[in-house]
Structure 1
Amino acid sequence: MHVFLKMDSWPTWTLPFVFLLYYCRNAVLGFDTLERLRREHSLMKPYQGAGMAIPQWDFIGSTMVTSNFIRLTPDIQSKQGALWNNVPCYITKWEMHVQFQVHGHGRDLFGDGFTIWYTKERMRLGPIFGNQNPFTGLAVFLDTYNNYNGAHNHDHPYVSAMVNNGSGSYDHDRDGTHTQLAGCTAKFRGKAHPANIAIRYEPSVLRVSLDIDGKSEWTECFKVENVELPTGYYFGISAATGDLSDNHDIISLKFYNLEEHPDPNLSMSRSDIIPSALHAEKDRAHVNDVPPPLASRVAHSGLKIFGYVILVIIIGIILVFGGIFLYQYKKEDRRKRFY
């Protein structure tokens, strides 16, 4: 709503104050941020353009576009779906807001989650929440299921990030805990209302914040410095289900340009950067599942052998008594026929 309708009626000496007040109003109400919205990297309702196409976006796998949300996977086992922006991003300072909802019929068992990508590759289904492994770029995982049989130092659902130059791999069986930059527990699954995540990057700082309650109250999940991401990569979101399942719904993606004075030369020079992160969480070696100690294995084997022996004895007793009963029955039958 415009509050300054007839500025020619204002005294000349008040105009600087009027413009200052107008600027402050825009800043407080967020209009300055809204003006920075870049639609070529954003996706909001109504989603569809002509036919089934979505301008600037492609989808693959089980992804289904509805009037209210884009469902990456239905609440069905063994599904993969992805949504990818087809316009490369050459903005060096940006923030992406994703509104989403993860829900399904499972009360205690559900999975697996979804991932927000900024990567060199696009539109390639694979084992990392519906995307290829390895990848080149940034991944922010929203993992709803604990695949690791060992002890995590956190609960699920869990939000974490990984930067990869294409040479490493995400270890899905360990929930990526050996390669993550940082993470936080976030109970976003099963909410009656959509949740929000904000990913902010400004060289060379990565911030991830959450608004789980849908009240526009952001809580920082983590902040990581010395993260280098190139320009010219693509944004995408993918999800997957396995033995467990969930609906993974994307409601909107809003991309904001944070650059005050864009420098085309800087943008192009950063296109050759190799994705990297100087610091990550404390290194934890990938240790394969260790078999039980020898004594435990011997004891376990002994119990198994003992169980088999008992089973054989029981079967033997049943056969013996069954044979005796059958013998007595036939003997009695012959005696009756004789008389």
Structure 2
Amino acid sequence: MGKAAYYFVISILARAIFCQESSRVPPEGGFLKREYSLSKPYSGNGMTIPFWDFRDNAMITNNFISLTTNHQGQLGSVWSKIPCHLRDWEIHMQFKIFGGGRTLAADGLAIWYTYSRLTPGPVFGSRDEFEGLGIFLDTYKNGDQPVTFPQISAMVGNGSTKYDHMSDGQLNSIGSCLGSFRNKDYDTTIAIRYVRQRLTIKVDIDGQDTWRECIDVPGVQLPTGYFFGVSAATGDLADNHHLIGFKFYELDITRTAEEEAEDWSTIKPGVFGKPPIDNRDDSGTGDYRNTSISGFKLFLIIVCALLGVGVCVVVGVVVFQKRQEQNRKRFY
């Protein structure tokens, strides 16, 4: 192979690698903040990550951060060192979860925005009774719910509420969806957007650079000054949990003078209003649904509506007949 052909091949490969890493378009009006982001190369010496800490079974490699390997009883996490004082932001996280089991795996991965950091625990490798936001990519079904797994769910903790393991967080969930993100040949991407107290989560689980809506919840109060983290854990069953990239974007949102004057460092985490609790396919026949009304519930609503219309028609006919009889009596 001549030099010209050699350099041509090298340029094509470099361009392909660059395009692969840069294919995800940043959000409109978003500014990448490196102090809250993770991208290759994660570390120059393999021992430390700028602006981040890691612990337990987490390991840094050239191409990914391994939170756990495919072994039982592991946990690992990475946490930002600098608290986030931004109100509006969006995260694009690439990850990969895979293992030898086709249908059985455990336990899953969690994305955090919490007051405390670097504290191991039983909730996907991090502490229970957390204060802030937890987003759970759960691969093991504990409860008897008639749904397939994996599932994605979100929870806002106040520092005293426990994560409900027996129902896979269903009692505390502010929204959830199903997504078959295990054992893919490509990386999976999740987008988490928080703007004006509205939390939206989208996923790209098909490798086509297309978003699918998962969770959309208004009225979510998250204080500033918390830390971002990613954790994972294995139990009696195991999976590899790899973090590929974590890109954090500050969003340019116009606010009034009154809104700018508000101190969001002192508010308490919480959800106001009545958000959808269950966005999963209750029938278990599909792997994804984004609606708060199940098919059975929708069927009941339609039946009740039809019965209501039927009753109204019958009452109308009876009233009409009685009026006709009264008119005939008057005529005679």
TM-score by length of 2: 0.72
> Quick one: which of 191, 194, 200 aligns to 1:198?
191
Cα offset for 1:30?
5.2
Report 1:285-300 matches (<5 A). none
Q: 1:81 matched to which residue of 2?
A: 76
> Quick one: which of 92, 113, 125 aligns to 1:97?
92
Cα offset for 1:174?
1.6
CA shift digits 1:243-287 (9 cap, x unpaired): 00000000000001112458898387101110001234459xxxx
Cα offset for 1:222?
1.4
Cα offset for 1:102?
0.2
Q: Determine whether 1:45 maps to 2:40.
A: yes
Q: 1:208 matched to which residue of 2?
A: 201
Cα offset for 1:151?
2.4
Give the distance between the partners of 2:218 and 2:63, measured in 1 at CA.
36
Q: Determine whether 1:244 maps to 2:222.
A: no
Q: Determine whether 1:277 maps to 2:271.
A: yes
Q: 2:114 matched to which residue of 1?
A: 119
Distance 1:32 1:157, change over 3 A: closer
Give the distance between the partners of 1:120 and 1:267, measured in 2 at CA.
22
Give the distance between the partners of 2:148 and 2:27, measured in 1 at CA.
38
Task: State the AA in 2 paired with 1:197.
Answer: I
Cα offset for 1:171?
1.1
> Quick one: which of 102, 110, 115 aligns to 1:107?
102
Secondary structure of the residue that 1:68 maps to in structure 2? Answer: coil
Report 1:304-323 matches (<5 A). none
Number of corresponding residues: 253
Give the distance between the partners of 2:172 and 2:232, measured in 1 at CA.
20
Give the distance between the partners of 2:259 and 2:33, measured in 1 at CA.
20
Cα offset for 1:176?
0.4
Secondary structure of the residue that 1:215 maps to in structure 2? Answer: coil
Q: Which runs of 5+ in 2 are unaligned?
A: 1-23, 279-332
Q: Which runs of 5+ in 1 are unaligned?
A: 1-28, 284-339
Give the distance between the partners of 1:190 and 1:49, measured in 2 at CA.
29
Q: Determine whether 1:183 maps to 2:176.
A: yes
CA shift digits 1:209-237 (9 cap, x unpaired): 00012221011101001111011000000
Bigger radius of gyration: 1
Q: 2:246 matched to which residue of 1?
A: 253
Query: Are the counterparts in 1 of residues 131 and 269 from structure 2 also a CA contact under 8 Å?
Result: yes
TM-score by length of 1: 0.71
Give the distance between the partners of 2:261 and 2:165, measured in 1 at CA.
33
Q: 2:152 matched to which residue of 1?
A: 159
Identity, % of aligned positions = 45
Q: 1:66 matched to which residue of 2?
A: 61
Query: Are the counterparts in 2 of residues 231 and 268 from structure 1 also a CA contact under 8 Å?
Result: no
Of Structure 1 and Structure 2, which has the larger fraction of its residues in helix?
A: 1
Query: Are the counterparts in 1 of residues 30 and 252 from structure 2 also a CA contact under 8 Å?
Result: no
